[in-house]
Amino acid sequence: MTDAAIAITGTHDLRLVVLSIAIATIASYTALTLAGRLTEDSGRVRTAWLIGGPIAMGIGIWSMHFIGMLSYNLPLPVNYDVPIVLASMGVAIIASAIALFLVSRQYLSRLQLLTGSVFMGLGIAAMHYTGMAAMRLEATPVYNLKLVALSIVVAIGASLTALWIAFQFRSNTTPTSSSLRKLGSAVGIGTAIAGMHYTAMAAVSFAPHSQGVTSSQTLDNSLLAVAIGIASLMLLTLTVLASVVSQRLATETTKAEALQMSEARFRSLVQNASDVIQVVAADGTISYISPSVKPILGYAPEDWLGKKAFDLVDLNDLSHVKHLLEQALCHPASNITSEFRLRHADGATRIFEAIANNLLTDPNVAGIVTTYRDITTRKQTQSALKEALQRLTFHVENSPLAVIEWECDFRVARWSREAETIFGWQAEEVLGKNPQEWQFIYPENLNVVNEVMARLIDGKEQRNVSLNCNYTKNGAIIDCKWYNSALLDESGNLVSVLSLILDVTEQKQAEAALLARAADLARLSSILAQTNTALQKRNQELDQFAYVVSHDLKAPLRAIANLSQWIEEDIGDILTDDTRHQMNLLRGRVHRMEALINGLLQYSRVGRFETATATISVATLLAEVIDSIAPPPTFTVEVAPNMPTFVTERLPLEQVFTNLISNAIKHHPKVDGKVQISVTEQGAFYEFAVADDGQGIDPQYHEKVFVIFQTLEARDKVENTGIGLAIVKKIVESKGGTIRLESQEGKGATFYFTWPK
Amino acid sequence: MTNILLVEDDEVDVMNVKRAFKKNNITNPLYIANNGIDALIMLRGNGNPPLMPPQQRIILLDLNMPRMNGIEFLRELRSDPKLKPIPVIVLTTSNEDRDKVEAYNLNVAGYILKPVTFSNFVETVATLNKYWALSEIL
């Protein structure tokens, strides 16, 4: 180890070492400050920092290194190759640029941090060994490779630490808390950079080219070192100062902008508020009123400055507002709410809701802040709502139907007066109850009621009708018709159910009675049908009887008549006049008997046969009847001109007229008698009248004349069976009409009969 | 000369006819049967020679008779090929439409209601006499 034995190592000037460490620390501090600035500034300022920063920092690191080199005393004269020195400075600047570029980024991954640190560490190492290469002396540097490697590791480690701390600082901008930490970090990084340098220096020793060189020729480089140091410090200080000033400027600008924005926002809020904001002094003098007073109350805000706030108030509420002011004065810094009326510029009175807050002690306000809002429309709406509710309640209470409102869980919410009347329970007895909680629903109808309710609840139906029984309070069972409708909210949920109830008990009873009556009627109808059948049978029997009468009774009569005549013929020679008269009487009675039988037959047939209907002109019919009767030419028969033409059965009407007219003529005592026929309308009937001027009929016989076989004169005097009027009466009545007689003895007689149109 | 068969149960009515024939000097042979059954026997003979000659016959028929009435007799007569062509004049008191319709449906030559008085009946018989005197009868 001869080489080693002759190798020389330098000594360090301690003062310069301290200076170099100080510079390293300051350079680190500068770097950290710059990192902060890079994130906060933008645009051209940032570009300037990106260029100037690395230069300042690079020179700082380099000067630390160079001062460190200068503090290294060798026993040989040392010169420096200036271009290489400048190159080493350039390397330092590039390394710094890489570092600052990295920390100025938005995000920094671990890999990027590590890569950056390696580059920066290598850069610093490169700067150092380039600087070493600039040394010109009569010796060859010998490097201890282990220490060289260590120095590079220290460089990378220091870079890593520095970048990481700087990156942290970047986001942390609070000035006071970070200053100390920043300083500490700067000291740490500075020491680490210096450590790298001195580790590297420890790695080198020099082998002198000539043995005879002694240490007597040691050059003192202290002056140069101090000069470089001062220059570096000045540069760094200026950089830091520039940075600080720039930061202060930026902060001020931001604050001013924020203030401006906040004020603009506040002004806009106040101007466009729907509330009026007003500040008054303790005596009520207005010191501020918001511009919103213009749209709300119609006044210009400047007109009210310095005036009393009470002048805005409606006279009726003045004392109330004064009291409010007193309240506010008594309770500083608390909200006092109130309602009062203010006068609008147009003279109308509006209702306001106000909040007053006594901020007299607050130097920023120094007044009572009153905020008030126009609630006139709200009040009107409220009162309209209240009125609507009152009206609804009135109608509900006065409805003839019982009204019950159910909550969505079917508890009673409303129970009208009529509900009280129908069911007996008072509202307070049932309100809030579920109908199953008291004896209200008739058990047999429980399923029906539950189903009806379920359909309303699940929204299948919005209204329905149910007929079921209910109990009343006194236990009676009544039939009720329920008209239910569900009230749903906007999302379709059941809010309540309204039921209108009609008591249909009486109706039901009436229906039942009607049903019973219908059954009765059906029974009666069946009896009637049976009776009708029996009647028809009886009529058939009567037909048979009439047949028998007509043949079997008339035949013997005829035989008697014939025989009497033959006897008279056969023994005519020996008959006395008396006997001959008796024979005539005998035949007369036989003929009368036959006439009676014919009348009986005719009578029995009336109404049993329907004859064809046709359009009948009564005037024509009467003309034919009169013609067939052939009254004596001295007799007058007058027919009124207004005889109707209508649809009816011809034969029965003809029979009636024939009988009445022929009776009038037959029974008339004079040959120049007169018969008048007239008609009047009586609703659905015509009333015909046949009047004669004959001897008339005593009222006591009026009924009797219509009875069959009744005659008022001896049959011998006027040959008459007494059946004509009985037949007339039967015909008229079988057609639904009536017949009556008006007559007095000696004053003629008038028969009136009605005939359906 | 036409043979006349009078089917009539009432003795007075038979006398009536006889008297009317006499009054009108009608000399035609007059046979009397008291009901439909007797009348058929007289027409057919029933094994014995018929009581009436088998040609130029005319029947005066009453409707209301015991055992077999006039309508029943007419049906029997019309269903018998031999007796079918005999002209029948109904002489009755029945004014029932039903009887008239049934009688005409069985091809009667006339339906005459017995007049009430004898004098009228005499006139009626005189007219009938003219009828059968003029008619060609088988």
Element holding A329 (H helix, E strand): helix A318-330
Q: How many residues does chain B have?
A: 138
Decide the pairing of beta strands B57-61 and B88-92: parallel
- Cβ of B118 and A554 within 8 Å? no
Structure tokens at A284: 């009520």
Apex A723 CA angle, A718 and A729, nearest 5:
130
Please state, as a whole number, how many other Cβ atoms lie within 10 Å of the Cβ of residue A600: 19
CB A371 within 8 A of CB A276: yes
Q: Tell me the pLDDT band of A718, cut-offs 50, 70 and 90.
A: low
Which residues in chain B have their CB less than 8 angstroms from residue A547's CB?
94, 96
Q: Which residue has the tokens 């079917």?
A: A410
Q: How far apart are CA A739 and CA A687, in angstroms?
A: 9
- The pLDDT, as a whole number, for residue A217 is 43
Q: Is A478 helix (H, G, I), strand (E, B) or coil?
A: strand
Partner-chain residue, chosen from A551, A565, A591, that has the shortest CB–CB distance to B118: A565
Structure tokens at A163: 């970048």
User: Is the pLDDT higher at B76 or at A10?
Assistant: B76
Which numeric CATH code is attached to B15-116? 3.40.50.2300
- Cβ of A547 and B93 within 8 Å? no
The residue of chain B nearest to residue A557, with distances taken between CA atoms, is B116
Partner-chain residue, chosen from B16, B64, B121, that has the shortest CB–CB distance to A551: B64
Which residues in chain A have their CB less than 8 angstroms from residue B15's CB?
562, 566
Residues B6-19 pLDDT 10s: 999 888 889 989 99
CA contacts within 13 A on the Cβ side of A295 = 11
Does any CB of chain B come closer than 8 Å to the CB of residue A558?
yes
Cα dist. A14→A20, A61, A69, A73 in Å?
A: 10, 18, 12, 11
User: Is pLDDT above 90 for A347?
Assistant: no
- The pLDDT, as a whole number, for residue A713 is 63
CB A663 within 8 A of CB A695: no
Q: What percent of chain A has pLDDT over 70?
A: 91
B68 CA: distance to closest CA in chain A (Å): 17
Q: How far apart are CA A558 and CA A680, in angstroms?
A: 46
Does any CB of chain B come closer than 8 Å to the CB of residue A555?
yes
User: Is pLDDT above 90 for B138?
Assistant: no
The residue of chain A nearest to residue B116, with distances taken between CA atoms, is A558
Q: How far apart are CA B8 and CA B33, in angstroms?
A: 6
Average pLDDT over residues A31-40: 69
The residue of chain A nearest to residue B63, with distances taken between CA atoms, is A551
In this structure, is the dihedral angle defined by the CA atoms of residues A83, A86, A91 and A94, taken in order, positive or negative?
A: negative
User: Is the pLDDT higher at A194 or at A525?
Assistant: A525
Chain-centroid distance, C-alpha A70:
92
CA contacts within 13 A on the Cβ side of A356 = 27
Q: Report, in angstroms and rounded to the nearest whole number, the Rg of chain B calculated over CA atoms.
A: 14
Does any CB of chain B come closer than 8 Å to the CB of residue A594?
yes
Decide the pairing of beta strands A674-682 and A636-639: parallel
Mean of the per-residue pLDDT values of chain A? 82
Element holding A755 (H helix, E strand): strand A749-756
Q: How many residues does chain A have?
A: 757
Does any CB of chain A come closer than 8 Å to the CB of residue B96?
yes
Does any CB of chain B come closer than 8 Å to the CB of residue A550?
yes
User: Is pLDDT above 60 for A635?
Assistant: yes
The residue of chain B nearest to residue A563, with distances taken between CA atoms, is B12
Q: How far apart are CA A20 and CA A131, in angstroms?
A: 15
- The pLDDT, as a whole number, for residue B108 is 94
- The pLDDT, as a whole number, for residue A187 is 79
Residues A201-215 pLDDT 10s: 777 777 777 654 444
- The pLDDT, as a whole number, for residue A6 is 58
Partner-chain residue, chosen from B12, B64, B93, that has the shortest CB–CB distance to A562: B12
Decide the pairing of beta strands A204-208 and A139-143: antiparallel
Q: DSSP assignment of A106-147, as one string?
A: S---HHHHHHHHHHHHHHHHHHHHHHHHTEE-SEEEEE-HHH
- Cβ of A561 and B118 within 8 Å? yes
Q: Tell me the pLDDT band of B77, cut-offs 50, 70 and 90.
A: very high
Which residues in chain B have their CB less than 8 angstroms from residue A554's CB?
93
B118 CA: distance to closest CA in chain A (Å): 6
- The pLDDT, as a whole number, for residue A220 is 57
- The pLDDT, as a whole number, for residue A4 is 43
User: What ipTM, to 2 d.p.?
Assistant: 0.74
Q: Where are the domains of chain B?
A: 15-116
Partner-chain residue, chosen from B10, B96, B121, that has the shortest CB–CB distance to A555: B10
User: Is the pLDDT higher at A429 or at A396?
Assistant: A429
Element holding A743 (H helix, E strand): strand A739-743
Q: Tell me the pLDDT band of A489, cut-offs 50, 70 and 90.
A: confident
User: Is pLDDT above 60 for A655?
Assistant: yes
Q: Which residues pair with A357 in a beta bridge?
A: A335, A369
Residues A234-273 pLDDT 10s: 777 777 777 777 777 778 888 888 888 888 887 777 777 7
Residues A286-344 pLDDT 10s: 888 888 888 888 888 888 888 888 888 888 888 888 888 888 888 888 888 888 888 88
Q: How far apart are CA B104 and CA A375, in angstroms?
A: 113
Q: Is A81 helix (H, G, I), strand (E, B) or coil?
A: coil
User: Is pLDDT above 80 for B21?
Assistant: yes
Which residues in chain B have their CB less than 8 angstroms from residue A565's CB?
118
- The pLDDT, as a whole number, for residue A156 is 84
